[in-house]
Amino acid sequence: MALMDPDASDDMIDHLVDFFDQIAPAYDGWAGGQHARVAARLVDLVKPKKGQRALDVGTGTGLVAHLVAAKVNPGLVIGIDLSDRMLSFARSKHGKNSQFLGMAAERLVFRPETFDLVTMGETLAYLADPGEALSEAHRVLKSGGRLAVSCQRRSLSTRAQDLFFQGLAPLARRHYLSLPRYSSERSRFGEPDVLPQLLESAGFDVNLLTEMVTGGRAQNAREWIEMMAGAGPLPYTLIKALGPRYRMELEAEVESAMDSLGDPDDAFRYHHSYLMAVATRR
Ligand SMILES: C[S@@+](CC[C@H](N)C(=O)[O-])C[C@H]1O[C@@H](n2cnc3c(N)ncnc32)[C@H](O)[C@@H]1O
């Protein structure tokens, strides 16, 4: 699998950072606090120890970083990200032993073998160059240091989600919107036959692999569309670009797509599933 994505252009990176800047205020509360639950599980699995030095890559609002900071205290956590707005929420949470810096995962400024632990919570599939970011994580980790990664497992999405996401590209075309996108290979990063291989080929031994499956059901098309807007840059940009009339049209289309699933139990149902790996630097 090619890790340097030919679609990782400056446009794509700007589009992605814009998306995270815009959703930053709603990030922690999205889907009933879903990201916080995923972060808590990842930190439970990696078991940070008192006094350790940790780096949280793509820290966002610092959900993982702050949990790690509480465990490693008096050790230190550094969180890095490209979205200023996400970082400003991370900083507002006031950790004594955490620092948040604007930096790309692919170009870390730290010396080799600086950290005991590197975390990447729901970040790998968004990075411009995931291979380079893993090799940077390897460089800054001490020998025997640990890497913890969570990645959405998209193959476990529901039929309702599949149907909705399949409809986005035609919807964009209908509204003459041309949006940058990563290649579809990214959507396989959270599969059990892909993530361990990515880590192994970056010089890590995978010690633990586990899954977290969450899900729920939206009440209606409006709630569904609002939630799906937070799911990624493409749905967000598209949905927010629609004026009230087209928005109502989309709601009607979503209602009828959900009806077409046949079983009312399938309608408006979503799964958010994650693969989590803890690995040791060779
Ligand atoms: C889905 S959020 C994850 C936030 C947090 N780790 C969590 O577990 O909730 C992904 C984050 O990766 C950041 N990001 C994307 N590309 C990046 C890059 N090349 N370098 C650093 N951060 C990046 C985004 O700005 C965003 O805040």
Complete domains list, the chain, with CATH: 10-157+182-218+272-281 (3.40.50.150)
Q: How far is the CA of 125 from the centre of ligand 1 (A)?
A: 9
What pLDDT is recorded for position 72? 98
d(Cα 230, Cα 196) in Å, to the nearest integer? Answer: 27
- Read off the pLDDT of each residue in 207-223 and give the average, rounded to a whole number: 95
Confidence at residue 95, expressed as pLDDT on a 0 to 100 scale: 86
Query: Per-residue pLDDT for 281 more than 70?
Result: yes
With a 6 Å cutoff on the Cβ, whether 58 touches ligand 1 is yes
Closest CA to 135 of 125, 147, 144: 147
Give the C-alpha separation, 57 to 126, whole Å. 11
**Residue whose CA is closest, atom 13 of ligand 1?**
58
Q: How sure is the predictor about 3, in pLDDT bands with cuts at 50, 70 and 90?
A: low
pLDDT band at residue 1 using 50, 70 and 90 as cut-offs: low
Q: Alpha carbon of 116 to those of 55, 68, 101, 135, 173: distances in Å?
A: 8, 12, 19, 15, 47
Rounded Cα distance, 45 and 31, in Å: 22
Residue type, 135: S
CB 86 within 8 A of CB 24: yes
pLDDT digits (tens, 9 = 90+) for 52-105: 999 999 999 999 999 999 999 999 999 999 999 999 999 999 888 999 999 999
Ligand 1 atom 27: residue of nearest CA = 60
pTM: 0.93
- The Cα diameter of the chain in Å comes to 58
Q: What is the mean pLDDT of the chain?
A: 93
For residue 151, pLDDT beyond 90: yes
3-state secondary structure 4-65: CCCCCCHHHHHHHHHHHHHHHHHHCCHHHCHHHHHHHHHHHHHCCCCCCEEEEECCCCCHHH
Backbone φ and ψ for 234, nearest 5 degrees, come out as: -70, -55
Give pLDDT tens digits for 98-148: 999 999 999 999 999 999 999 999 999 999 999 999 999 999 999 999 999
Which pLDDT score is estimated for 182? 83
Ligand 1 pocket test, candidate residues 21, 64, 82, most atoms within 8 A of CB: 82
Quick one: what percent of the chain has pLDDT higher than 90?
78
Helices 34-46 and 63-72, packing angle to 10 deg:
30
Q: In this structure, which amino acid lies at residue 181? A: R
Q: Using CA atoms, how far apart are residues 139 and 136, in angstroms rounded to an integer?
A: 5
Which atom of ligand 1 has the smallest separation from the CA of 105? 20
